[in-house]
A and B are shown apart, each in its own frame.
Chain A
Amino acid sequence: MKRTALFLVLALLFPLAMQAMDQLFYVSFASRVLIYAIAATSLNLVLGYGGMISFGHAAFVGTGAYVASILIAEGASSAWIGWPAALAASALLAWIIGAISLRTRGVYFIMITLAFAQMMFYLVNSMKAYGGDEGLSLPRRAELGLGLDLGNEVVFYYVVLAILAATLYGLRRLIQSRFGRVVLAIRENEARVEAIGLPVYRYQLVCFVIAGAVGGLAGALLASHGKYVNPNVLHWVQSGTLMIMVILGGVGHLWGGVIGAAALLLLEHLIADYPIAWLAQLAPNYQQHANLGVGIVLLLVVLYAPQGIAGLLARRARARA
């Protein structure tokens, strides 16, 4: 509770401080972190709480991003149309992909979700009307009305923050609900859930659809944020990035997606923008290989903190108590 309040206060004050220091770039960067936090949190529902190793979450983020972008490009720039449309399209896609892939298990499930996402990647690549492989630039961000100009970095930040807060609260409610208990139980012991009379497949599918829908909303935000979308948002590397965020932050921890998104994007930013002199002497263009640094950190986390950063924090909190 204390930590949640602290996070909220810091998150609320952050753009004001940056504004005062005339560092709006960091407000925009933070918005990006928050959007990825929403996407990673939605993946965490499937991956962490549901125990379904989905390697195709980018399909939902990307579909949401493209649906919202196409609507803006076609002149329907109201967020009240674009965002629900992104949500619905991703939910529908998740329903189709889930209905097929959830009939498989283990490595087959991983491969089928990956294959579906790659199919979407190639499909979008071939949509010449909307930029094909060059992507689609948007004239403006989505329009929210209510006197809120999303073109303003600070306003956009607060709207994204509100959506992230709603996502986290919703996830918490979900996990403690009847449905959430069943999802957790399936992760524990699928056969037993069936044996006490619950249709495992249906619960997994609904869980998959909810996560896909929220991922789609994150995609819509991502497209508005950069006023640009390209097929890479659907590429399997994007799915991998979201997985890394969840693993880094904490699989099956409420804050796992948030912490992981912040940690990964900050790490990438630090490696790329703050050269280390002695390392540069040793390996002149090491900054172009930021992923190597990320890989090493990920390796350390998996080996020494399998519960991710959130798990480490929780352990420290328990030790102090």
Chain B
Amino acid sequence: MRRRESRGFSPEGPVLELRKVSKRFGGVVATDDVSLDVSAGEVHALIGPNGAGKTTLIGQISGSVPSDSGTIVFAGADVTRKKQHERVGAGLARSYQITSIFRRFTVLDNLALAVQARSGSSFSFWRPVAREAALFDEARAIADEIGLSRKLDFPGATLAHGEQRALEVGLALATLPKLLLLDEPMAGMGPEESQRMIELIGRVRLRATVLLVEHDMDAVFRLADRITVLLNGRVLATGAPETIRADMQVRRAYLGDGLAA
């Protein structure tokens, strides 16, 4: 976790480029010609009302949802046709809006598995994982970072909601991403838990670029360097938080509410 060696990329320029990316589910257009740059080192927020296509777009970027058209360039390489696990290997990790952890694994085992996934081959059939101290040391360091070091031996299913959300992010962090896609990390959280998550993202951004989908506007405006607004699958605007805020107020005044949902 503390190491960042082979994750070098130029600090300027985009780490992620979307060019006219689209996805249709039957007759429903989920994303429509989305073009978007995420610059290295920034926290880029993606906002928009429910059904705007945010989660679909995250799926397309991470590779779980194949795109109908358009190209996705990550860290200088075209990954449009790459499988999800290949993109993760290249440094593109995600967390889920609906908590997706290994519920019967302990917190430590959850994180150790994610560390294992990116360190050496997992086609190893004989040697017990338990003897690989390095895996568990790294897992503990991540647990520490996400505030779960006192819950190491608890199965994922027994954690409180906020703790599960933290583990969710921890699993993505453990893959040492260059770009972290966070899909509503504060979903269902109380104010205190949200505060801790904001602090965590604040620390994470020091070593990874973050694309953040979030409905909590307070969090968005505190964290984001830039904001993209998505509506009906299309990019409505991209810009600095102040610009977007002003823009949103204008739209709300003239077109009615619907953006800040």
Contact = CB atoms under 8 A, between A and B. Distances in A.
- Summarize A's interface: helix, strand, loop or mixed: helix
A195 B128 CA distance: 23
B69 interface: no
B124 A196 contact: no
A191 B126 contact: no
A199 B128 contact: no
A173 B129 CA distance: 10
A232 to B, nearest CB: 33
Contact of A194 (B64, B109, B126): B64
Nearest to B104: A188
Contacts of B132: 178
A185 B102 contact: yes
Contacts of B84: 194-195
B125 interface: yes
A192 B117 contact: no
Nearest to A183: B122
A158 interface: no
A176 B129 CA distance: 6
A197 B175 CA distance: 8
Contacts of A182: 113, 116-117, 122
Contacts of A179: 122-125
A185 B118 CA distance: 15
B100 interface: yes
A198 interface: yes
A191 B85 contact: no
A179 B104 CA distance: 17
B89 A177 contact: no
B125 A177 contact: yes
A199 B82 CA distance: 12
Q: Chain A interface: which size bin?
A: 20 to 34
Nearest to A173: B126
A188 B96 CA distance: 16
A206 interface: yes
B130 interface: yes
A178 B124 contact: yes
A112 B132 CA distance: 38
B105 to A, nearest CB: 7
A198 B175 CA distance: 11
A203 interface: yes
Interface in A9-39: none
Nearest to B89: A197
B101 interface: yes
A176 B128 contact: yes
Contacts of A181: 109, 112-113, 116, 122, 129
29 contacts: A173-B125, A173-B128, A174-B126, A177-B124, A177-B129, A178-B116, A178-B121, A178-B122, A182-B113, A184-B105, A185-B105, A185-B113, A188-B102, A188-B103, A189-B100, A191-B100, A192-B101, A195-B94, A196-B88, A196-B114, A196-B118, A196-B171, A196-B172, A197-B85, A197-B89, A197-B117, A197-B118, A197-B175, A198-B122
Ranked nearest first, the 4 interchain pairs of A and B with the lowest CB-CB distance are A197-B88, A178-B124, A176-B128, A196-B114
Given A180-B125, A199-B85, 4 more contacts: A176-B130, A179-B122, A191-B64, A195-B93
